[in-house]
């Protein structure tokens, strides 16, 4: 670049152009005629065009630099404004304390904590409602399946009976073949189809019976596990395995030897409530046996007044206990009946 800001190449070309113009301005008598060089003229014109383009590029660069400086200044001003706005918002968003009661205890929480707690509660409520809806839908579908299975289970025996009726009297196939071979083929095919259908129905019934038995066993297992848990809640002493084992053995012996149950019947006692009744009767029997061993003083005999008639009791305690058990059906009343039997 030269001092005037123009490229050196352009400057030399301009000097050539100036010399050419000066030649045109010189009087004709002072100069010698020379042939016109068209190539030189074209080079001059191209030089002028390139000079013009270079000036335009320089102007565009200057404008771009100016716009970039203006954008930087605007960004700095915006950044300063954002910082001031952030400081104001932080001052305005300082959380205030609110006093609320949680499980009867007053606590101070901020506004952010209140909003966060409310959001969690709303989310929990939505999830709970969704789970309840899903459970209700599953229950409804299970009910529909159970109803369909019940109808299906009722139809199978009817189908089996109808097929057995159709297959009760088997035709004389040899005679039918001799009399009417076409009828033989048709009837034999129908007969075989009914036999296959009967086999399928019988197999399906066996499958349903097996599935039903497995379901009952699982339910019984769950009921026994639930009963064992309830027994530990009602009888804390049975949390010790040795104590539980010893008492269960004594209760079993008491039920067999005193109450008259068979070992097979006791093996079928799965209801924890029945076991609680046996235990209560066994405890009462122990109390009675312990009382019998203590010496008792006989009460003085009452002397009837002359002319009075002694009343005969027609209702015994055993009968009362049985009547009460028949009305209530409670385990405690059953234990009282066992006491009277003892």
Residue 92 and residue 94: Cα distance in Å, rounded? 6
- Are 286 and 339 in contact by the 8 Å Cβ rule? The answer is no
Residue 254 and residue 331: Cα distance in Å, rounded? 17
Q: What does the pLDDT read at residue 243?
A: 93
Of 78, 85, 113, give the one whose Cα is nearest residue 99.
113
Residue 16 has pLDDT above 50, yes or no: yes
- Are 318 and 340 in contact by the 8 Å Cβ rule? The answer is yes
Tell me: the pLDDT tens digits for 233-257? 999 999 999 999 999 999 999 999 9
Q: What does the pLDDT read at residue 187?
A: 94
Tell me: the pLDDT tens digits for 78-100? 665 565 666 545 555 555 676 77
Q: What does the pLDDT read at residue 31?
A: 44
Q: What does the pLDDT read at residue 192?
A: 94
Residue 18 has pLDDT above 60, yes or no: no
Of 330, 312, 311, give the one whose Cα is nearest residue 321.
330
Q: What does the pLDDT read at residue 15?
A: 60
Q: What does the pLDDT read at residue 33?
A: 46
Q: What does the pLDDT read at residue 146?
A: 76
Average pLDDT over residues 266-290: 91
Mean pLDDT, all residues of the chain: 75
- 3-state helix, strand and coil shares in percent for the chain, rounded to the nearest 5: 75, 5, 20
Tell me: the pLDDT tens digits for 137-184? 888 887 778 777 788 788 889 989 999 999 999 999 999 999 999 999
Q: What does the pLDDT read at residue 116?
A: 75
Residue 13 and residue 15: Cα distance in Å, rounded? 5
- Are 106 and 99 in contact by the 8 Å Cβ rule? The answer is yes
Tell me: the pLDDT tens digits for 179-200? 999 999 999 999 999 999 999 9
Terminal CA-to-CA distance of the chain, rounded, Å? 131
Compute the half-sphere exposure of residue 258: CA atoms within 13 Å on the CB side of its CA. Answer: 20
Longest dimension (CA), the chain: 194
Q: Provide the 10 A C-beta neighbour count for residue 190.
A: 11
| Band of residue 337 on the pLDDT scale cut at 50, 70, 90 | low
Residue 3 has pLDDT above 50, yes or no: no
Tell me: the pLDDT tens digits for 41-70? 565 556 556 656 656 666 666 666 666 666
Residue 109 and residue 241: Cα distance in Å, rounded? 50
Integer angstrom CA distances of residue 207 from 43, 70, 204, 212, 314: 106, 87, 5, 8, 58
Residue 213 and residue 13: Cα distance in Å, rounded? 112
Residue 271 and residue 224: Cα distance in Å, rounded? 7
Residue with tokens 């954008």: 71
Residue 184 and residue 176: Cα distance in Å, rounded? 6
């Amino acid at each position: 670049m030269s001092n005037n800001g123009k490229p050196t190449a352009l400057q030399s070309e301009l000097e050539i152009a100036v010399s050419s113009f000066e030649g045109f301005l010189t009087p004709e008598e002072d100069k010698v005629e020379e042939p016109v060089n068209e190539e030189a003229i074209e080079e001059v014109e191209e030089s002028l065009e390139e000079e013009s383009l270079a000036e335009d590029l320089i102007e565009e660069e200057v404008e771009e630099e100016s716009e970039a400086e203006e954008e930087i200044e605007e960004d700095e001003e915006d950044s300063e404004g954002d910082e001031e706005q952030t400081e104001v918002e932080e001052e305005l968003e300082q959380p205030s304390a609110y006093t609320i009661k949680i499980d009867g205890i007053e606590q101070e929480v901020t506004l952010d904590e209140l909003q966060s707690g409310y959001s969690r509660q709303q989310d929990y409520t939505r999830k709970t409602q969704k789970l309840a809806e899903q459970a209700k839908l599953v229950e409804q579908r299970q009910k529909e399946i159970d109803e369909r299975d019940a109808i299906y289970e009722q139809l199978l025996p009817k189908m089996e009976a109808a097929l057995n009726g159709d297959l009760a009297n088997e035709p004389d196939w040899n005679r039918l073949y001799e009399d009417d071979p076409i009828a033989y083929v048709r009837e034999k095919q129908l007969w075989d189809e009914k036999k296959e259908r009967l086999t399928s129905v019988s197999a399906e019934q066996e499958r349903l019976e097996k599935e039903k038995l497995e379901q009952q066993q699982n339910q019984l297992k769950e009921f026994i596990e639930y009963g064992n848990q309830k027994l530990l809640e009602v009888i804390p002493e049975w949390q010790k395995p040795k104590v539980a084992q010893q008492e269960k053995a004594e209760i079993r012996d008491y039920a067999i030897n005193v109450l008259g149950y068979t070992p097979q019947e006791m093996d079928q006692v799965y209801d924890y409530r029945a076991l609680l009744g046996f235990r209560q009767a066994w405890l009462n029997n122990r109390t009675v046996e312990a009382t019998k061993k203590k010496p008792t003083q006989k009460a003085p005999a009452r002397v009837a007044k002359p002319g009075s008639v002694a009343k005969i009791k027609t209702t015994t305690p055993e009968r009362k206990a049985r009547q009460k058990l028949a009305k209530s059906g409670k385990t405690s009343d059953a234990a009282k009946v066992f006491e009277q039997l003892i």
